[in-house]
Structures are given as C-alpha cells and as structure tokens.
Amino acid sequence: MTEHGIQCQDCRKYLNTMKRLFCCTLVPWLLLCSPAGAQTDLAPTEILVKYRHDAAAPAGRAIGHNVVAVPLADTPASRENRLRRHLAHLRADPAVIYAEPNYHGHFEDLPPTLAVPNDPGYASQGWLDSLGARQAWAVATGKGVTVAVVDSGVDLAHPDLMNNLRSDGYNFGDGNAVPQDVLGHGTFVAGILAAQCGNATAGCGLAPETRILPIKINIGSTNDFDSAALAQSVDYAVAHGAAVINLSVSVSESTQTVGEAIQRALDAGVVVVVAAGNGGGAVKFPGTYPGVITVAGTNLDGTLWSGSCLGSEVTLGAPATGVTSTVLGGGFGIRSQGTSYATPMVAASVAGILQLDRRFDHARIAALLRANALPLAPGGYDFGILAAGQTLLALLPDLIPEKRDYANGDMVRLDYRLPPTGGPVDIYVAVTLPSEEVSLKPDGTWQRAAVAGYAVTGSAYGGAAASSGTLFGSPGIFPPIRLEGFPAGRYVWRSVLINRQSLSAVGPIIESPLTIK
C-alpha cells in the first residue's frame, strides 16, 4: 500500500490485513439488498430516524451520528401499511427530529443516463448534451451544495429558480437585502447553473438541485460595480456557507482588495470559479488570481470561441455560444455570447463533485476537471472542454465482468476501477444472487449479507488518481471464480465507496449485471 492508494501488486497483502467488519445494524442503507432485477420503484423496507442529541434511542437500536435505521419485515401484502404506521408512530415521538423511508436507488449498466426531461426549453439547450448533462444528473445534481452567484442579482420570482434560491442573499450594489436582478445577466447565469429540471418549466440547469446564494454587486440596472462591492460579496458568500463562488465578472485592473477576499475564500476551502474574460487577449482579473478555476469560452462544435481571453491561467473551457437559459420575467431564451455563461457550467460541475465528496479541495477539483476534459479542435491547447458527465462518472467505483452471459463451468474474470477520492474511504463489494445477497470479505471469502452484514473489502483507500486492476482473475487479487453448481439467473455486482467520517456513500451504488444461462 502506498501513501496515496492501493497499487495492484500490493492489493493481496493489503486486503488480507483488513479485519474490521462493517456493522449492518448501523448503516444497512449503504448497499441496497434489492432482489435480482430490482427497479427504482422498489418500496422501502426501512425507516431512517434521527433523534435529538439529548434523547436516548429506543433499546436495542444502535446510534450512528444520531441516525438509526429501523428494519421492517418485508411482507408484500402489508409492507406499505406497516411502513405508514411505523412512520406515524415515530414522527409522534418528541425525541425524534425526523423519520423518513429509506428509499431505494438503482443504477445499471454504466454509463447511467437519465431520460430526456419534460422542460420545454431543454430541446434548445444543446450545450447540456455537449457536456453529458444526463449522465451527470444520474450521478449528482448538486444537492446540498450552495453556490454563491456574485452577479447582477437573480430574478427572485422566476418559477424555474425560486425553489433553489436561498433567502439570505444581499444587494451590495444598492445597499439593501433584496438581490433582485433588473439587468438579466445574473438570472441567465443562475439558470445555467441551477434551473430546476423535470418540472415542465423553462429549461434545465447543469446542477438542478444546487442552492443558489444570490448576491447583487452592480448599481441599479447598470453594468457597473466596483472592487469594494466585489470583495464584500466574496466575503459575504464565505460567511454564509457557500461551497462554491461563481464570478462571471472581470475587473479592469487587479486589486489587492479583491485578491485578498478571494484568498480568504480559498483559505476557507471555498472553490472560486471565474470567467477568463471576453474580447480576446490576455485573461482578465480575477481570472488571473492563483488558485481560482478560470474558464475560457468554446463553441458547441468543440472549437475555441474567438472572443475568449486566453492564457496559462485557463483551467478549461466550456460553451460560451448558443447558450439558452432563464431570463427576466419568468421566461427562457438566449443572450449574447460570453465566458460569463461558460463559467456557471463549471461551477455546476464543481457542485456535483462536492455533493459526492466535500473533502476535495480546489486543486484536486481543478485536476479532476482537466483530467476528464474533452480535447479542443484543432489541438495545440493546454486545456480541454468541460465534460461534466464523464467527470462525475470518473468518481464512481466500477466492477467490470469480461462478458455478460455465462454458462455453468465458465471462469469469471472481474476487473475493478477505483476513482480518485477526496479522502480515505472504505470499499464495499457485494453481489445479488438469484436467491440471496452476499458480501466479499477481505480474504476473498463470502458471507450472507442478510445474516452477517457487509464486510469491508478494503479499508481507508485514498487515491489522488484512479487505479485499476483485476479483482478475480489471473493475475489478480483473487483467483477467477468457477461457475459450478450456481443456479441460472441474473447476478448483480455492486460496489460503493463510503466516507468513514460521515458514514455516507461517495456516489450512488453502481451495478454491473451478468447472467448465468
């Protein structure tokens, strides 16, 4: 084992040292025990309960971060009624903060892709398809992440934005607490980032469940703002818990005032995403500030937009032309081109990364974005174009059978891919057989998951870069599996990474099915 992760030649030694079994009673929701062929409409069989810190959990229930999973008997005829009764009973308890069903999720056959949304403007949002938006949404939507949009404000009543807007924004341009947009620039930027998706209204944002902290910096409906207002806005965003700050702005000259505010944000762990600037020439401030993610503009055909500023400071590009988004008055449309509109696409991707793992810092995020970017055409640039879907897919573990259909007597080879992570994670591997669920132990043996819980296959893995190898096969960590005496049917491999500190999954559970005929 190296300092940063598991190397293939060390995997066997490493895995054999892992002794700690994962406690099924604490978080049985980490790997879903769904029957073979399960779909996303599986009714939940558990309730997640959060008790007050000063309240004792019921006897016999383990507490992990004050969250208790209560298993329910799975009798099809009475499951729904039993679930409803349990929920009502728990919610009536004054010691309970909340109780909710432990809903099942399901992904199958990478890459996952969601259906075309019903939003009327989606058909005109070719930039979303160019970024792999539907793949990105299948992995993360920015849920639980706040992005500060430091701009001309946001249309606070826009039906495709209002549900994602935080109420504690501010107007530094006019000196009041109402960051209402009257220019339109900030509303357009906010829609690219986080317009609600699937609500049959306007269009979609790239991170449609992100929370937006709207901050207005310009005076009235003018295009003017000063460095003092910009610096105050950055500090305000940090103080109010923004994880990402979107700056679709440029300043005529660099100022220490703004630079120090950005540095305070970076020191606080906030990711700052900045437009490279328009008009050609060198990158404009604050896109030149070290540590920010600077975004150039491209066209939908994969070429560089001629109006984009360029320089060594550019992290990557994103579409700056042909972009449609939310407009003032509740509408949806197109505005003139600019790197202002490429920037929130990258900010949305950052929100998706942070939804999966908050421990990624700005340098690791910039490296992830660059590593998964698409090449510009023609070549010759030292940066690529944002690939939102591929970037998020690259953060998920994957188990890869060499084929899908097997016969009794076949040997199964199974490869693995482990993604880069923001910090140490535990690795879990399980498989659903036609009759039961089993979990892989560190020594290569199996246990019935329904009885003994899940085993930690690998503990405290943390990789700065993706690693891959063979789990079952030759050469590999374990010998290939011979299919002798296995019942015919569908088998589903599952893998997931768990952040041990928060006991939360880093990404959704990915399933790789195979069939024995």
Query: Is position 151 annotated as part of the catalytic site?
Result: yes
Q: Which of 185, 227, 398, 495 is catalytic?
A: 185
The identity of residue 116, as a single letter, is V
Integer Cα distance of 212 and 248 in angstroms = 14
415 and 473 Cβ atoms separated by less than 8 Å? yes
Place of tokens 């357009």: 188
Question: Which among 233, 250, 340, 495 is annotated as catalytic?
Answer: 340
Alpha-carbon span 319 to 302, nearest angstrom: 8
Q: Tell me whether residue 308 is one of the annotated catalytic residues.
A: no
Q: Burial level of 47, CB count in 10 A (0-12/13-18/19+)?
A: buried
Give the integer Cα–Cα distance in Å for 194 and 212: 7
Q: Tell me the β-bridge partners of 11.
A: none
Name every residue whose Cβ is closer than 8 Å to that of residue 307 and which is 6 or more positions away in sequence.
Answer: 278, 279, 280, 297, 320, 337, 338
Confirm whether 340 is a catalytic residue.
yes
Q: Which helix (H) or strand (E) holds 260?
A: helix 256-267
Q: Which of 119, 151, 160, 398 is catalytic?
A: 151
Q: Which residues are catalytic?
A: 151, 185, 340
